Amino acid sequence: MYQFSGKLKTFSIALMIIGALGVGYSFLTAPKTVEDAKEIIASQHDSHETTAATHAPATDSHEKTDSHSNAKTSEHANDEHAEHVLHALQNKPWAATYVALFFFLGISLLVLTFYAIQRVAQAGWSIVLFRVMEAITANIVPASILMFVVIMTSAGHLNHLFVWMADGTFDPASPNYDAIVDGKKWWLNIPGWTVRSIVYLVGWNVYRFLTRKWSIAEDTANDGNKIYKKNYHASVVFLVFFMITESMMSWDWIMGLDPHWFSTLFGWYVLATLLVSALTVIAFVTIYLRSKGHLPFVNDSHIHDLAKYMFGFSVFWTYLWFAQFMLIWYADMSEETVYFIARFNEYKLPFLGMVVMNFVFPILLLINSDFKSRPWFVVIGGLVILAGHYIDVFVMIMPATVGDQWFFGIPEISALAFFIGLFIFVTFRAFANAAPLAKGNPFLQESEHYHYYNIEHEGEENHH
Amino acid sequence: MSNKVIHAFYNDDEVVLDAVKKVKAAHHHIEEVFCPFPVHGLDKAMGLAPTRIAITSFMYGVLGLSVAIWMTNYMMIQDWPQDIGGKPNFSWWLNMPAFVPILFELTVFFAAHLMVITFYMRSRIWPFKKAENPDPRTTDDHFLMEIPVHDNEEELTTLLKETGAVEINVVEKH
């Protein structure tokens, strides 16, 4: 049995504490009043002028009444702008936490899905990785609890991440009335949204609880594969549930941030982002544990397979990214292009940079078959893939919540640190709670002897 | 000098793979192994150099991409610019997203077709060519290992029998 202790545990707890302090600090220092926001605008204005030459004049043009560029702006418009900035800055710590939370919840969920796919496909190669995957899925529990908190605070108007939840959106008499959102009322309404969100979280957690319990029971069951079949059936049901809830989750939790905009492949797009990140995380945890000698049965072919998936799903992600972009670019309908205009105007570097990180870099690094079985290559490629997909989630969420007030600063780094710490703590604690090898699985032998014919095994201890 | 060769027949891919390893371990040269289907790891066991076809595939892909860039630029920008949905027809770069499917398809087209043609040329096969395999059973359910004989017929025959050959013939090769 693996023991989770020592430096790694201290490190994870330290990361959580630092992250929690940083998140707390950014909540406390968010501006409270319009006056605070005006001060911040004034200080931004100063730095703006010193670097004015490097800024394109249209950078802030999404605000028609932009006080930066128009000297004759009335006092009223100035107040309106300040209020807008105030809301963006008040959203910022929420949005920064939400980006990291969604990323980690999504990774845990997609590891669970990948695991369920292995069970349903009755795959032979991956059995030796089952306990690693199960350990990662343990993160679903704390991530779901935190997500539940965000859901309840959003529904209770304690944060303003979702603009359509504002008072009066559905009231024709209100100045906040939004006819387009009102037309989507049958889907976008707070009770429905809250109930759906809770159903997703509960459903995923129930499957995770059952499959983990049965997987451990299988180790000593010796029952003619009865539990194995039970797990198989549960995984089939989960995959059906997942396919529906994943799409709906991405509409509710991400696309709902831009309630006027829609993209019919958005569920797929979010899936691709989370899936490639999930595979990278499986590879990372596997490589780490193997390097410490806890997974002597994992050989280079298993790493090679994970890297193949990382490579393949990077291409898949790019395909969806481009398919979404090109159709909207070509059709040029204003209600659709607004999404990309916001990103090209204010998020150009992260928005285009992530395409290089998520496509060009993995393609060049992981296309060679030999490289895919070398752990340090997989780690380098994986770090860029994970950073790139974090930015991807960032660019999905930030434009709608904080607009041009984005920055990668204390709230973002702290939230990320907190969730990395939480991830390490939960994953390795769960890994220590069960035998590192799923002994009872009928395909175990096939997995242990797995050898992709085209590569030489080097990294493992037991040479065949 | 005689051109005698031994033809050893096997009826299982795992057996022939082990046999090749044993024959190589005994330091005999294997001229060729004829198989009804590709056997993973056989090339390595025979000591053949790794294939370079992946490199040619990459180069053909780059060639296809270049042709596609040239072609879209010539057709859609230089020769006959058309107004399609108001997209910028005066600049290849600004219109590039519309060309990506073409760039992708031609890259794949060039890589795939030229790689197959290269493979045919390197394997020296072409339409209506007479088959080279010495026994028609190697296209059905038998594997054949061909080993040149240098006054060691006895030794080779014993060795091959040990490796599980189902039939051993010594033939004159022309």
CB atoms near residue A333 (< 10 Å): 9
> Which of the residues B100, B105, B108 would you substitute to probe the A interface, choosing the one with the greatest number of A C-beta atoms within 10 Å?
B100
Helix-then-strand count for chain A, H and E: 16, 0
CA dihedral for A31, A37, A42, A48, sign (positive or negative): positive
Distance CA A181, CA A308 (A): 42
Which chain B residue has the Cα nearest residue A455? B41
> Which of the residues B40, B62, B96 would you substitute to probe the A interface, choosing the one with the greatest number of A C-beta atoms within 10 Å?
B40
| DSSP three-state, residue B10 | strand
Hey, is the C-beta of A329 within 8 angstroms of any chain B C-beta?
Answer: yes
Provide the pLDDT for residue B113. 97
Distance CA B69, CA B74 (A): 8
Distance CA B169, CA B167 (A): 7
CB B154 within 8 A of CB B162: no
A10's tokens: 């201290």
Task: Select from B44, B86, B97 the Cβ nearest to the Cβ of A326.
Answer: B97
Orientation angle between helical segments A410-432 and A130-137, nearest 10 degrees = 130
Q: Cβ of B86 and A453 within 8 Å?
A: no
Give chain A positions within 8 Å (CB) of B98.
326, 330
Helix (H), strand (E) at residue A163: none
Hey, is the C-beta of B51 within 8 angstroms of any chain A C-beta?
Answer: no
Q: Cβ of A331 and B85 within 8 Å?
A: yes
Please state the rounded mean pLDDT for residues B13-30. 92
DSSP B77: I
CA dihedral for A391, A392, A396, A399, sign (positive or negative): positive
Distance CA A363, CA A307 (A): 11
> Which burial class, exposed, middle or buried, applies to A121 when counting CB atoms under 10 A from its CB (0-12, 13-18, 19+)?
exposed
Distance CA A289, CA A137 (A): 16
Q: Cβ of B40 and A330 within 8 Å?
A: no
Give chain B positions within 8 Å (CB) of A330.
85, 87, 97-98
What are the mean pLDDT values of chain A's consecutive 10-residue runs (464 residues total)? 87 94 90 78 63 42 44 63 81 92 96 97 94 96 96 91 89 89 92 96 97 93 90 96 96 93 93 96 96 92 94 95 92 89 91 93 88 91 95 94 86 94 96 92 92 75 45
> Which burial class, exposed, middle or buried, applies to A166 when counting CB atoms under 10 A from its CB (0-12, 13-18, 19+)?
middle
C-alpha distance from residue A94 to each of A80, A160, A367, B128, B169 (Å): 22, 9, 38, 71, 80
Name beta bridge partners: B147.
Answer: B6
* B residues 16-45 closer than 8 Å to A (CB): 40-41, 44
> Which of the residues A319, A322, A450 would you substitute to probe the B interface, choosing the one with the greatest number of B C-beta atoms within 10 Å?
A322
Chain A / chain B CB contacts < 8 angstroms = 18
Orientation angle between helical segments A130-137 and A266-291, nearest 10 degrees = 120
Which chain A residue has the Cα nearest residue B39? A453
Provide the pLDDT for residue A104. 96
Give chain B positions within 8 Å (CB) of A325.
97
CB A447 within 8 A of CB A125: yes
CA atoms within 13 A on the CB side of B138: 20
Length of chain A: 464
Name beta bridge partners: B4.
Answer: B172
Q: Cβ of B97 and A331 within 8 Å?
A: no
Provide the pLDDT for residue B152. 85
Task: Select from A325, A330, A454 the Cβ nearest to the Cβ of B85.
Answer: A330
Give chain A positions within 8 Å (CB) of B100.
322, 326
A281-285, long-range: CB < 8 A, 24+ apart? A281/A107, A281/A111, A281/A136, A281/A386, A282/A111, A282/A114, A282/A129, A282/A132, A282/A133, A282/A136, A282/A306, A283/A307, A283/A310, A283/A378, A283/A382, A284/A379, A284/A382, A285/A132, A285/A135, A285/A136, A285/A427, A285/A431
Angle value at C-alpha A25, between A51 and A148, nearest 5 degrees: 110
Distance CA A209, CA A141 (A): 9
Helix (H), strand (E) at residue B169: strand B167-172
Hey, is the C-beta of A332 within 8 angstroms of any chain B C-beta?
Answer: yes
B139's tokens: 């296209």
Hey, is the C-beta of B124 within 8 angstroms of any chain A C-beta?
Answer: no
| DSSP three-state, residue B113 | helix
pLDDT tens-place string over residues B110-145: 999 999 999 999 988 988 998 888 899 999 999 999
Hey, is the C-beta of A453 within 8 angstroms of any chain B C-beta?
Answer: yes
Provide the pLDDT for residue A57. 42
Name beta bridge partners: B144.
Answer: B9, B34
Distance CA A119, CA A127 (A): 9
Distance CA B12, CA B139 (A): 13
Name beta bridge partners: B10.
Answer: B143
Hey, is the C-beta of B87 within 8 angstroms of any chain A C-beta?
Answer: yes
Q: Cβ of A330 and B97 within 8 Å?
A: yes
Lowest mean pLDDT among A211-215, A257-261, B57-61, B153-157: B153-157
Q: Alpha helices of B31-136 — where are they, by DSSP H?
A: 42-46, 53-72, 96-122
What is the average pLDDT score of chain B? Answer: 91
Q: A135: distance to nearest CA of chain B, Å?
A: 35
Hey, is the C-beta of B100 within 8 angstroms of any chain A C-beta?
Answer: yes
Distance CA A65, CA A82 (A): 11
Provide the pLDDT for residue B50. 84
Indicate the pTM of the whole model. Answer: 0.86
Distance CA A128, CA A421 (A): 25
In one-letter notation, the amino acid at residue A84 is H
Distance CA A189, CA A156 (A): 13
Q: Cβ of A330 and B87 within 8 Å?
A: yes
Provide the pLDDT for residue A459. 59
